[in-house]
Structure 1
Amino acid sequence: MRFSVPRFIHTADWQIGKQFGQFDHSEAGVLSDQRINTVARIGELATQVKADAILVAGDVFDMQTVSCKTLHRLATALDSYSGPWVLLPGNHDAAVAESVWQVWQRTVQLPANIHLALKPGVIELQAAGLAVFCAPLTQRHSQSDLTEPFSHYDCGAGLVRVGLAHGSVQGILPDQMETQNPIAADRALTSGLDYLALGDWHGRLEVNTHTFYSGSPETDVFRNNDSGNVLEVQIDSPGAVPEVTVHRTGYFRWYQALCGLRIREDLEQLQEQCAAFDRLAVVKLRLEGALDLATYQDLARWLGTLEARVHALLTDDEALAIAPSDNDLLDLQADGYLAEVVTELKAEQESNAVSREALRLLLQKLAQHQQDVRA
């Protein structure tokens, strides 16, 4: 008979093999590799807090085609914790007829403490005091609630009942998340679960006192959803309210900002906002407004400095225009025909991306010419 209190780590949405196509090759490679390093840190955390198990609520892999090298590296990362891991397929890595899970099993000799929940049912972890009710996705999308059978599952007496599922709790997540793989918000109550561990939403979210999304342990999108965590869950006895502790696991910190730039003080404010960013920052800036030529040139130089300081910088300046002043044009000696071209491009740049880029290139060439002349 077990007398200690069950404690486990709830995590999800590792997305191993994610490509990060919006970044350049070197930046993307580091972000992808870090996801495996974070898995190892999760195992180390579980060992540190003396967890009885680690439960992974779906999307272990980002896609069905993952390299053999990545599969071996993930298996090595799982060596960081000697207790049971329970890994559930989600919508990205559904347990279809020939899936990444079958390839992984053929490629790597997985140890006995790795439990792959490829079929619906109950995995009893007697030593951990847990019965894990599993609802794997066996196709990418389902219109029915795959956790409904939990109400009919049985398990050994005295075990804490934990559901493991991947999908969208109805009425809780944004509407676009609720069209596939629905999960009833009251599933823990109706199925007598002590805890329902969910994946799919990449941020941490408490649905109710017995139902949680852990979020992805390593942030992967620009969204303010409290990602980069795992949950340590302790349940004193069957029927008790879970005690949930948040542990920060994310290595990179993702930031996004919409910046309106009209005057130099706006640029100075943006620079101050980004002053603390370092090599662990992944930054996306959306710039809009209009700047005189001198301030625009200072912005371009500062963005180059910022890009060198952070891990990755994405800049969306489609809505940022250049508004050269009369003094700017005098300094550039943009008179006569050149002045007419500049005026025409200025008028067209708000509605025509080609005109905006042409104006930028023309002004840059004129500025460089004046520098060469003065040198």
Structure 2
Amino acid sequence: MVSHRRPPVSGPGRGARGGAVVALSAAAASAAAALGSAPAGAEPRDTPEATRATVDALYEQAERATDQYNAATDRVHAITTRLHTAQDALARGQARVNTMRGVLSSVVGAQYRSGGIDPSLALLLTSDPDTYLERATLLDRVGDRESGALHRLEEAERGLAQRRAAAAQDLAALRAGRASVARHKQTVQARLDHARRLLAALPAAERDPYGRASRADDRFTLPTGAGGPASARAAAAVAAVRSALGRPYAWGASGPGSFDCSGLMQWAYAQAGVALPRTSQAQRYAGRRIPLSEARPGDLVAYRADASHIAMYVGHGQVVHAPYPGARVRYDPVTMLPVSSVTRV
């Protein structure tokens, strides 16, 4: 029996969200703390069982960190998209301000040449942002037409300044996020490399349980009266996840050539036209929670209290999932790990 399999338990879990910089820093800190508790320096003591227990612990810690890495990467992508949108808006806003300033400058020039320019109007057209308050007090000293135009110019410039400030904050968050993701990646990779070294030190016969195509227990059948998928989209997702059998696990990957656990679920449901969130913690809330006893093909099964692993139920007490580095997408019993929740998408 492989130590990766544990008795089933059930219970709710919770996810968390936060601001861009704070959330990214918190994810990195919590991941570092979690990974720090893994027996990274441990070596096999007396038995292959002890080595496999150490490897299991390393994989579990790395899997939690991988989900946090995925969440941080998603936030970086969201910030990048928002920043690109803001930069486009800034360019359009600056062009509008430049046009307004050019029109008003032409008016000022004409008035100057005719000798009728009001000195306050020239002051109002300065590009120095520190003159905003002065402009407000001088607007009543110019004509109605120029006053309205200057009001619009001032509002446009204020809006432009606000967008610049927001873009600067997003840029700082993006830089912090990228640094966090890079540190996170190095930490996860170190744990996975150590696990691989431990496995490589085992005799071939003892490594075999980690390399088998399946650890399915054909004698186990989930007690349920419902047979088929609950919907057409669930049926399509089951077909997709089965088509991925045999493809390699790669942490942070979401197909089509390789997957981590939540990446496989996201990809499979995308083939059914359903957009799932990227992380397993978020995926557990992507539909209606149901008891394990009512699971039907296509339902998502989250494992451990923190939902750090996720799989798809495919019927007959089996799930398909991307297990861990070095393994391939495969069938396993639904009770392979402590079950946290079951979600019908």
Report the TM-score when normalising by structure 1.
0.26
TM-score computed with the length of structure 2 as normaliser: 0.28
Structure ranking higher on relative contact order (CA contacts 8 Å, 6+ apart): 2
Higher helix share: 2
